[in-house]
Chains A and B, each alone.
Chain A
């Protein structure tokens, strides 16, 4: 029974992954090229709806989590915007680095989609009432953190591509290899984002939320630490010592500076 329940939890995690990677793919395919070509002033309401259509499909996916929907309707929903603005797929947008980033995001999206299940597939027996409440409360938090983690990835990539002082420095530092430098930094940022998602969001919060065994183990560890008064006092002592030393060093530096 616990194996079936954990399968259900894994499906929920895969769904969150589809939303996160889908959001990242939309950022690469729509948001960044529109900003890059400065097309916002030329966009009508209908064009704005066309640009937001893929996000609508992702929203529909949360209600009806079908991998076919994600793998067919989501990519196709980009077409109206690309037909209206063909320059979004043009050479001014897609150099080697942008193409590689989109390819990586697409591969990640397809892999995550393939791990989500079809609707109506009974992957778990109804869990106990307490477990259900716990899962429902926790899923809300997992969604919020998935969105914030997607925002971290998007802002880091956005900073690389659209923060003008950085681009100027990069151009000055690597006059003949700006593209290669940008793609290397893009890969670094992408790796950092994947590490954040995998190491922090999935393995920490996701594991506690989606695995009853891990949840119980973490609770035991937490309650033991709460009851370890001596350890808490020792930590407090060290914290006060470090804070006092830092304050002392800062005061000396300020006095010497003046």
Chain B
């Protein structure tokens, strides 16, 4: 029971951290745009999107596991 609660909190924290880290990738994409490196900028945006999605999926798992046996 305790480990389940720990796992839930871990999922929540990692999910939020992933979304926060994505901010750095979105910012870096703008800096790549300023260097006219458009491919790198687009890739950074995709990485940002992927991180946001991963973070929200982890949070979702924390939610749906949290109140089930």
- Of the candidates B26, B27, B59, which one forms a contact with A141 in the assembled complex, judged by CB atoms under 8 Å apart? B59
Identify which of A42-50, A52-60, A113-121, A161-169 touches chain B. Answer: A161-169
Proximity string of chain A (156-175) to chain B, C-beta cutoff 8 Å, 1 when within and 0 when not: 10011001011011100100
Please tell me if the beta carbons of B67 and A134 are within 8 angstroms of each other in the complex. yes
Residue on B nearest A138 in the bound complex, by CB: B63
Listed in ascending order, the chain A residues whose CB lies under 8 Å from chain B are 130, 133-134, 137-138, 141, 144-145, 148-149, 151-152, 155-156, 159-160, 163, 165-166, 168-170, 173, 185, 192, 196, 200-201, 204-205, 208-209, 215, 218-219, 222
Which residues of A have CB within 8 Å of B43? none
Report, nearest first, the 6 A-B pairs whose CB atoms are least far apart.
A166-B34, A159-B30, A165-B34, A169-B34, A148-B19, A219-B64
Q: List 8 A–B pairs whose Cβ atoms lie within 8 Å, in order of A's numbering.
A: A134-B63, A159-B31, A166-B33, A169-B33, A205-B60, A208-B60, A215-B64, A219-B68
Closest Cβ neighbor of A152 among chain B residues: B23
B contact residues vs A (CB 8 Å cutoff): 12, 16, 19-20, 22-23, 26-27, 30-31, 33-36, 45, 48-49, 52-53, 55-57, 59-68
Chain B: minimal CB distance from A100 (Å): 19
Check A145–B56 contact: CB distance below 8 A.
Answer: yes
Is A155 a contact partner of B26 (Cβ separation < 8 A)?
yes
Given contacts A145-B19, A155-B26, A156-B26, contact A200 B53 (CB under 8 A): yes
In the bound complex, do residue A222 and residue B64 qualify as a contact, i.e. CB atoms below 8 Å apart? yes
CA distance A138 to B16 in the complex (A): 13
- Measured between beta carbons, the chain A residues less than 8 angstroms from B45 are 192
Which residue of the partner chain, among A141, A163, A204, A205, contacts B34 with CB atoms under 8 Å?
A163
Task: Identify which of B20, B30, B60 contacts A156 (C-beta below 8 A).
Answer: B30
In the complex, what residues of B have CB within 8 A of residue A222's CB?
Answer: 61, 64-65
